Amino acid sequence: MAKQLRAGDVIPEFRFDTPYQPQQSFYQLLEGDRPVFLVFLRNFGHPLTRHYIMEYIKSAAALRSARLVCVVRTRPQTISKAIPEGTMPYGLMCDAEGVLYRFFNVRSEKSRMKCFSLKAMKILNAAKKQGFHPQPGEAWQLPLTLLVGPAGRVLMAHYGATLTDLPEDCVCMEELAADLLPSLPAEWMAAAPAAPVADSFGAAFETVPGADQAGGARFPAGEADAAPEGFDAPAGPDGESAASPAGEVAAAPEGFDVPAGPDGESAPAEEEGFDTLLDVFDAPAAPAAPAAPPVQPQTPRPPAVDLSALGFGADH
């Protein structure tokens, strides 16, 4: 049975497809001085996926401390036919077969009472007016948000409790990364990890020949073939999720559905000494330079991405 990722785990190397390049190296993706957010969504034809894809496009310029790659259950050729290469401001990872989803234990829930939120209902109701019709009895895939450093080190793992329990936009991701990264152990950001921790995923990976023929991640079968477990306890009337199967309830980071704790107050700045102020009067005043005209900052415009050509459709 696949287990859920936790901070400190090490994800081994694997190959994945983008809409435009096949069999890319996961570790090469992680190279650089900024970690990578991996946000696991549904297929491109799903209204919830489309909502967050567009929100991330609009706010992509705000993400400076990390990078973003969205994982979708859609075949590469489906996206490449509708969206030209170079249009998206962040990366896409295609896993139509759901190999990564199974191995990382991305859960699905059939009960709407357990996984729906008010925001999800609003998005889906708006999509129904545009022609979206969910399949009767379908399982609702929950989101997963990872922050991964060099050589596959998991810096943060958040398994969503509701359909919208993931970062709202890149502004939330930037705030989360800026707060989290300074507090992490220095060795977690090293180019090569130390010896794998006891609960690392390294020992569970095997090579599966031909796994990439259908397009998608080349990943081990083994435990990944087992179906993920559902949530046992129902959600409360206010939309909050129940405790996890392991009995641990982790506080959600800021920007997710579950609100985080209040921010700490900043320390007051030190006042200048009296002698420092006198030095200002002793120094001869230099002639003032002519003031330059104020420069109005230009807000970067998000790229024009039209997802209507994809329509509402199945995962593939």
What is the secondary structure of 202-213 as a DSSP string? GGG----TTTTT
Q: For position 292, what pLDDT does the model report? A: 57
Q: Which of 58-62, 253-257, 266-270, 271-275 has the highest mean pLDDT?
A: 58-62
| Minimum mean pLDDT range among 18-27, 103-112, 238-247 | 238-247
Domains of the chain: 15-260 (3.40.30.10)
CA angle 96, 97, 100 (to 5 degrees): 95
Count of Cβ atoms closer than 10 Å to residue 285 Cβ = 7
- How many angstroms separate the CA atoms of 181 and 66, rounded? 10
Mean pLDDT of the chain: 74
pLDDT over 70 for what percent of the chain? Answer: 60
Q: What is the mean pLDDT of residues 71-80?
A: 95
Cβ contacts of residue 219 below 8 Å, gap of 6+?
14, 99, 100, 103, 205, 208, 211
Q: What is the pLDDT of residues 90-99, one digit of tens each?
A: 999 999 999 9
- Mean pLDDT, residues 230-257: 45
**Per-residue pLDDT, 190:** 80
Residues 242, 246, 249, 254: is their CA dihedral positive or negative?
A: negative
| DSSP code string of 159-197 | E-SSTT-S-SSHHHHHHHHHHHGGGS-GGGGSSS--SPP
Q: Which residue has the higher pLDDT, 108 or 279?
A: 108
Kindly report, residue by residue over 176-196, the tens digit of the pLDDT. Answer: 999 999 999 988 988 765 444
Instruction: Residue 36: name the closest of 144, 141, 156, 143 by CA.
Output: 156
**What is the structure's pLDDT at 22?**
95
Q: For residue range 141-155, what is the model confidence (pLDDT) as tens digits? A: 999 999 999 999 999
In this predicted structure, the answer to whether residue 302 has a pLDDT above a threshold of 50 is yes
Are 60 and 302 in contact by the 8 Å Cβ rule? The answer is yes
Q: What percent of the chain has pLDDT over 90?
A: 49
What distances in angstroms separate CA 126 from CA 47, 129, 130, 225, one per listed residue? 9, 5, 7, 35
Of residues 191 and 54, the one with the higher pLDDT is 54
